[in-house]
C-alpha cells in the first residue's frame, strides 16, 4: 500500500475542509456587520428625529427676514420633528364626517348606487327562491308573500309560516267560519283597514296579503307580545281577552306551530 498517496489525499481533504470553514466564518462575519450597520442607522435616525430644534424662533425669524426682503409674505414655520411624531397621521371619524362633501363629487370609498341597487335586487331574489324551495311553492307566489311582508314591516320568515298554517298557500281557501284567502281574513276585519273591500277582493292574493299583514303588524304593535298577537289573529281579541281576564292561558297550540324554531321579533326595524 502506498502510504504517501494516502497521506496526501487526507491532507487535501483537511485543507478543503479548513477552506470551507474560513469561507463560512467570513459569511457569518459579513452578516453580523450588516445587522450591526442597520441597528446603528436605526438608532441614529431615531435619535435625530426625537431631538427637538435648538432654536426654532431664531430659525423662523431668519426665514421671515429673507422672505420679506424678497418681497414675499412670510410662510408658516414648518412643524418640528418632535411635533410630527406626536401629531396623529389619521383624522378622527367625527371630524371627517363634519366635512361637507361636494354633492357632485363621488368619494373613493363611497359605493356606486347602481352597484348597491344590483346587490339588493340579487339578495331579494335569492331570499325569494330560498322560500320558494323551502315551502315548495311557485316563485311568483313566494315573491308576492315576500314583497307584501316587507311592505307591511313583517319579517318574511314569520309571514311564510303564517300563510302555511292559515291556508297552505291556497289563495282560494275558505274556512268553515268564513275566513277567506291566503291569510284567512274575515270580511269584517278586512274592512277595518279598507272599508270598501269585498269578499271577492279578498280572493286576490295581493289584496289579501296586504290587509292580512297590516292586521298582524297592528296586533304586534298593540299587544307588544308576538305570542299574544298571533293568538288574537287566530282566535280573535274577545276570546283571548276573556281567557286573560279569567287568569287562563289563551294558548291553543297555534302560536307554538308558527313559532317553533323561530327566533325573530316578528317585525322589521
SS (H, E, C) 80-147: CHHHHHHCCCCCCHHHHHHCCCCCCCCCCCCCCHHHHHHHHHHHHHHHHHHHHHHHCCCHHHHHHHHH
pLDDT band at 110 (very low <50, low <70, confident <90, very high): low
Residue 99: the pLDDT is 47
Distance CA 193, CA 40 (A): 82
Give the number of other CB atoms < 10 A from CB of residue 26: 10
Distance CA 181, CA 189 (A): 13
The rounded percent of the chain whose pLDDT value lies above 90 is: 56
pLDDT band at 81 (very low <50, low <70, confident <90, very high): very low
User: Higher model confidence: residue 60 or residue 254?
Assistant: 254
Report the length, in residues, of the chain: 269
Dihedral angle at the C-alpha atoms of 97, 100, 106, 107, nearest 10 degrees? -30
DSSP secondary structure of the chain: --HHHHHHHHHHHHHHHHHHHHHHHHHHHHHHHHHHHHHHHHHHHHHHHHSPPS-HHHHHHHHHHHHHHTT-PPPPPPPPHHHHHHS-SS--HHHHHHSPPPTT---TTSPPHHHHHHHHHHHHHHHHHHHHHHHT--HHHHHHHHHHHHHHTB-HHHHHHHHHHHHTT-TT-B-TT--BTTTTB-HHHHHTT-TT--TTGGGSHHHHHHHHHHHHHHHHHHHS-HHHHHHHHHH-HHHHHHHHHTT-----SHHHHHHTT--S-SB--
Give the number of other CB atoms < 10 A from CB of residue 233: 24
Q: Among 105-114, 140-149, 237-246, whose mean pLDDT is lowest?
A: 105-114
- Mean pLDDT along residues 42-56: 56
Q: Distance of CA 219 to CAs 173, 189, 194, 203, 235, Å?
A: 23, 12, 16, 22, 13
CATH topology of domain 113-259: Lysozyme (1.10.530)
Residue 87: the pLDDT is 45
198-227 residue pLDDT tens: 999 999 999 999 999 999 999 999 999 999
Average pLDDT, the chain: 80
User: Higher model confidence: residue 39 or residue 254?
Assistant: 254
The rounded percent of the chain whose pLDDT value lies above 70 is: 68
pTM > 0.75? no
50-60 residue pLDDT tens: 555 444 454 44
pLDDT band at 23 (very low <50, low <70, confident <90, very high): confident
pLDDT band at 15 (very low <50, low <70, confident <90, very high): confident
122-156 residue pLDDT tens: 999 999 999 999 999 999 999 999 999 999 999 99
- Mean pLDDT along residues 108-122: 82
User: Higher model confidence: residue 231 or residue 107?
Assistant: 231
Residue 108: the pLDDT is 52
User: Higher model confidence: residue 128 or residue 32?
Assistant: 128
Distance CA 97, CA 67 (A): 38
- Mean pLDDT along residues 74-95: 47
Amino acid at each position: 500500500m502506498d502510504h504517501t498517496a494516502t497521506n496526501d489525499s487526507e491532507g487535501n481533504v483537511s485543507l478543503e475542509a479548513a477552506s470551507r470553514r474560513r469561507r463560512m466564518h467570513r459569511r457569518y462575519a459579513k452578516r453580523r456587520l450588516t445587522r450591526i450597520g442597520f441597528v446603528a442607522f436605526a438608532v441614529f435616525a431615531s435619535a435625530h428625529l426625537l431631538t427637538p430644534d435648538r432654536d426654532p424662533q431664531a430659525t423662523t425669524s431668519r426665514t421671515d427676514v429673507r422672505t420679506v426682503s424678497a418681497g414675499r409674505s412670510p410662510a408658516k414655520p414648518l412643524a418640528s420633528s418632535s411635533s410630527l411624531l406626536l401629531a396623529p397621521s389619521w383624522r378622527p371619524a367625527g371630524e371627517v364626517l363634519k366635512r361637507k362633501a361636494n354633492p357632485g363629487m363621488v368619494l373613493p370609498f363611497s359605493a356606486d348606487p347602481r352597484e348597491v341597487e344590483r346587490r339588493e335586487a340579487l339578495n331579494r331574489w335569492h331570499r325569494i327562491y330560498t322560500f320558494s324551495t323551502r315551502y315548495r311553492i311557485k316563485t311568483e307566489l313566494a315573491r308576492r308573500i315576500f314583497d307584501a311582508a316587507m311592505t307591511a314591516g313583517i319579517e318574511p320568515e314569520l309571514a311564510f309560516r303564517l300563510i302555511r298554517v292559515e291556508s297552505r298557500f291556497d289563495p282560494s281557501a275558505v274556512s268553515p267560519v268564513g275566513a277567506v284567502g291566503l291569510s284567512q281574513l274575515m270580511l269584517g276585519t278586512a274592512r277595518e283597514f279598507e272599508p270598501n273591500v269585498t269578499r271577492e277582493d279578498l280572493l286576490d292574493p295581493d289584496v289579501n296579503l296586504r290587509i292580512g299583514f297590516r292586521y298582524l303588524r297592528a296586533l304586534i304593535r298593540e299587544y307588544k307580545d308576538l305570542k299574544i298577537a298571533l293568538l288574537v289573529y287566530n282566535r280573535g281579541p274577545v276570546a283571548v281577552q276573556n281567557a286573560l281576564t279569567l287568569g287562563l292561558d289563551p294558548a291553543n297550540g297555534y302560536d307554538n306551530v308558527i313559532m317553533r324554531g323561530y327566533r325573530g321579533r316578528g317585525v322589521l326595524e
